[in-house]
Chains A and B, each alone.
Chain A
Amino acid sequence: MGVRDDLSVSSQAGKGADSFDQRLNDAEARMRGKSGKSTTDSTGKENDADYSAFGLAMRIGTEMVAALIVGVLLGYGLDRLCGTKPLFIILFSFIGGAAGMLNVWRAVKNANV
């Protein structure tokens, strides 16, 4: 009896959920039709601009330094490995600086500030 009760309750709940989902979808379709835009519009590149300008300002400082650090460390490691003391550290510090600039460019490209 308990089992049957559970079954009936769960089937009812399932039906309720189905009809709720259906009603939700219908309502969403109605809203979409009314406002004339689809919900998928909000997923896109321009959502980078969503975070605050203060957060962005804190981002770009470290973006530039981090790439330079990685470049210098990589150059130092390659020099240690190959025994070509100043070659790779010079090369990779320039490449790291360029990568830092690229990072900053990518960070601010989509922000509308």
Chain B
Amino acid sequence: MRSGRGSLAAGSTIDALGQFELHPVLGQIGEALRFSQSPLFMLIAVVAVLAFLYVGMRPAAVVPGRLQAAAELGYDFIHNMATETIGKEGTAFFPFVFAIFFFILAGNYLGLIPYCFTFTSHIAVTASLAVLVFLVSILASLRYQGFKFFAHFMPEGAPVFLAPLLIPIEILSFLSRPVSLSIRLFANMMAGHVLLEVFAGFTLMLAGLGAFGSVLAVAPVVINVALTALELLVGVLQAYVFAILTCIYLREAVAH
């Protein structure tokens, strides 16, 4: 019995990471352009966000319908976040934060639809976004503070003889920002999708064990339903954390 189950589990192993492989899509054209699912779903995400705003705001009614209310809520939410966190310069960075938030949110949510690819589960994508945020915050620092920006690497009021220790720590803390931004988003998305795949695999394995297994196979399905709900929460939360950290970094950049 035990060996039988073991061999079955070994025979149909769970390929949890196969879902993250990139393949050329769209036939011949995709193959020639090396166009994989990841950029395809990025395009879909961008089009979905633009369509959401355009279709949502087209009625421009004083009393908004459902879609218009959703679009207005999204706009207001990010606008408040940007202006309250960054300060009065926040309006200048609002389009950037808005684009980041909705691009990540659309990517996270698109990945929950069956047969869709989650481009935020690749560290190459999240690291590019994080490096973009990092570069924008450095450029904003240099623009708003000039070379006083470099004075921030020495904490004020600290004794001078501690400088050889404090300055490397501050520099490392600063350099770790894009790393933590990218790892957080990528790890959360990847872990969630691996979990979904693993529990779906359990369902298939248990269903292969006969009638009793079929009854037991309901349990992983129930867990997967709960995990999908959790992923809906994690998807919006990670987009929010990415956006609010972008705002916090930009606030430190524009603060004099």
Residues of A within 8 A of B (CB): 42-43, 47-48, 50-52, 54-55, 58-59, 62-63, 65-67, 69-71, 74, 92, 95-96, 98-100, 102-103, 106
Establish whether residues A95 and B84, one from each chain, have CB atoms under 8 Å apart when the complex forms.
no
Mind listing 15 A-B residue pairs with CB under 8 Å?
A47-B84, A50-B84, A51-B240, A51-B241, A63-B176, A66-B176, A66-B180, A69-B179, A70-B176, A70-B179, A95-B165, A95-B172, A98-B169, A99-B170, A103-B180
Establish whether residues B248 and A48, one from each chain, have CB atoms under 8 Å apart when the complex forms.
yes
User: What CA separation (Å) do A98 and B172 show in the bound complex?
Assistant: 9
Count A-B pairs with CB separation below 8 Å: 81
User: What CA separation (Å) do A43 and B237 show in the bound complex?
Assistant: 23
Establish whether residues B173 and A102, one from each chain, have CB atoms under 8 Å apart when the complex forms.
yes
Chain B binding site: helix, strand, loop or mixed by DSSP?
Answer: helix
Q: Does B34 contact A (CB under 8 A)?
A: no
User: What CA separation (Å) do A67 and B184 show in the bound complex?
Assistant: 13
User: What CA separation (Å) do A43 and B177 show in the bound complex?
Assistant: 23
B65 CB contacts on chain A under 8 angstroms: none
Establish whether residues A70 and B175, one from each chain, have CB atoms under 8 Å apart when the complex forms.
yes
B170 CB contacts on chain A under 8 angstroms: 99, 102
A-facing mask of B178-195, CB < 8 A → 1, else 0? 011001100110000000
Chain B residue nearest in CB terms to A103: B173
Establish whether residues B84 and A58, one from each chain, have CB atoms under 8 Å apart when the complex forms.
no
Establish whether residues A96 and B244, one from each chain, have CB atoms under 8 Å apart when the complex forms.
no
- Which of A42, A55, A58, A74 contacts B172 (CB under 8 A)? A74
Establish whether residues B240 and A62, one from each chain, have CB atoms under 8 Å apart when the complex forms.
no
B81 to chain A, nearest CB (A): 8
B84 CB contacts on chain A under 8 angstroms: 42-43, 47, 50
Q: Does B238 contact A (CB under 8 A)?
A: yes
